[in-house]
Amino acid sequence: MDTIKRRYDISPYYEGWFQLGWSRDLARGQLKKVRQFGTTYTMFRGEDGIVGVIDDICPHLGAHFSEGGCVRGNAVRCPYHNWSFARDGRCVDIPYSTKIPVKARVVGHTVAERDDMIFMYRSANGGPPKTPLPRIENFDASEFCAPERYEFSIRIHGQDIMENSVDGPHFMAVHRHSLPEFVFREDQGSLRVSQQMSVARFGTTIDFRLEFHLVEPGFHYVHFPKLPGTTALVFSSIVPIDEEYTSHRMTFFVKKTSVPGWSQVVRRFLIWQMMKTYREDMRIWENKEYQSHPVLCDGDGSIIKLRRWFAGFLDPKEPALPGPTRLPISSGVG
């Protein structure tokens, strides 16, 4: 049998805090299946309002909690024989037995909620978080309009998505912008990137300044400090789905202004602009080959800086597998 080469020779999975969804989409007593990191999880909100994320497969006879299970109190009840599991993964109830086996537990993951987003910490060995959930600097959600959310499933490794945002020459070739000027700074394990560029739109030229703060692959954001009459922030989380596909969740915040409706105008423009560039990138992303040793010229310096930073989060390398595997997913905008 032929061995099919993996598309990427770097690990498909990486460590850190990852956004799994938005708080408003998970009501008290609700349960959802989440497909990430080559597996599925059950994400739920207990009757006490607190979110839990546990591994999806029941240790009893293997039913998936997310296929017909439900929330009872602050635990998930398995659909097959109604065993219940708490947020820490312990079995807390077996309706037909007075003794709960010691091994009746699944992995309960570390979860945090902030700014209308739900995050989970993921590490290769299941260890505890190395850091608390990072904070978005210079940001108070109460000063911003209700955010708009987008979610994509893309056939690409997360590193390629992040690399794209610091790949200056492609802004000219693919997006027809000016060649951006980048200023890079490493800051306690994070990357700060200032980007200045101009975009020709509506018969005029609009100057943009973007201040990226790449804290982790699953937690990064960009401030737009110089939009006309306001400022904006786009939060991003790039989460592996499996060995081929990646979720990209984006949340757009525009600061409230005293002019009625102006924030919405700016938000529409920002989203239109970003979605346009995103669609332009997507066709290339989903079909490109990963070059682990790319031939670069002196205008490509940021790519190597980005790859070095990303490598610090990748799982230890595994032996090559005989071909990619992937879960069935649907692609689209949420």
DSSP sequence for 90-157: BEEE-TT-S---TT-B-PBPPEEEETTEEEEEE-TT-PPPSSPPP--TT--GGGBPPPEEEEEEEES-
The CB-of-278 to Fe ion minimum distance in angstroms stands at 7
Position among 50, 61, 172, 259 found at the interface with ligand FES (CB under 6 A): 61
- What's the gap between Cα 307 and its chain centre? 18
How far is 151 from 179, CA to CA, in rounded Å?
28
Q: Which tokens belong to 133? A: 């959930």
Residues with Cβ within 8 Å of residue 62, at least 6 apart in sequence: none
Position among 6, 7, 32, 81 found at the interface with ligand FES (CB under 6 A): 81
For Fe ion, the closer of residues 130 and 176 by Cβ is 176
Q: Residue 64, interface with ligand FES (CB under 6 A)?
A: no
Q: Residue 60, interface with ligand FES (CB under 6 A)?
A: yes
Amino acid found at 269: F
Candidate segments 31-39, 80-88, 105-113, 159-167, binder of ligand FES by CB under 6 A? 80-88
Candidate segments 73-81, 114-122, 143-151, 310-318, binder of ligand FES by CB under 6 A? 73-81
Q: What is the dihedral of CA 9, 13, 18, 20, to 10 degrees?
A: 110
| 149 to 178: interface string for Fe ion, x by CB under 5 A | ---------------x--------------
Q: Residue 58, interface with ligand FES (CB under 6 A)?
A: yes
Candidate segments 39-47, 79-87, 147-155, 282-290, binder of ligand FES by CB under 6 A? 79-87
The CB-of-246 to Fe ion minimum distance in angstroms stands at 15
The torsion angles phi and psi of 203, rounded to 5 degrees, stand at 75, 10
Position among 281, 306, 309, 310 found at the interface with Fe ion (CB under 5 A): 281
- Assign 311 to helix, strand or coil: helix
Q: Residue 85, interface with ligand FES (CB under 6 A)?
A: no
Q: How many CB atoms lie within 10 A of CB 280?
A: 15
Candidate segments 211-219, 239-247, 251-259, 274-282, binder of Fe ion by CB under 5 A? 274-282
Task: Give the number of residues in contact with Fe ion, rule: CB under 5 A.
Answer: 2
Supply the Cα-derived Rg of the chain in whole angstroms.
22
Alpha helices in 178-248 (DSSP H): none
When CB distances are held under 5 to 8 angstroms depending on the partner's kind, the choice from Fe ion, ligand FES, none that residue 80 binds is: ligand FES
Q: Binding to Fe ion (CB under 5 A): which residues in 241-260? A: none
The CB-of-332 to ligand FES minimum distance in angstroms stands at 32
When CB distances are held under 5 to 8 angstroms depending on the partner's kind, the choice from Fe ion, ligand FES, none that residue 281 binds is: Fe ion
**Residue carrying structure tokens 């690399």:** 163
For residue 164, the surrounding DSSP H or E stretch is: helix 158-165
Which letter does DSSP use for residue 220 in this model? Answer: E
| C-alpha closest to that of 91 among 47, 59, 53, 43 | 59
How far is 313 from 78, CA to CA, in rounded Å?
34
- List contacts with ligand FES (CB under 6 A): 58, 60-63, 78, 80-81, 83
- List contacts with Fe ion (CB under 5 A): 164, 281
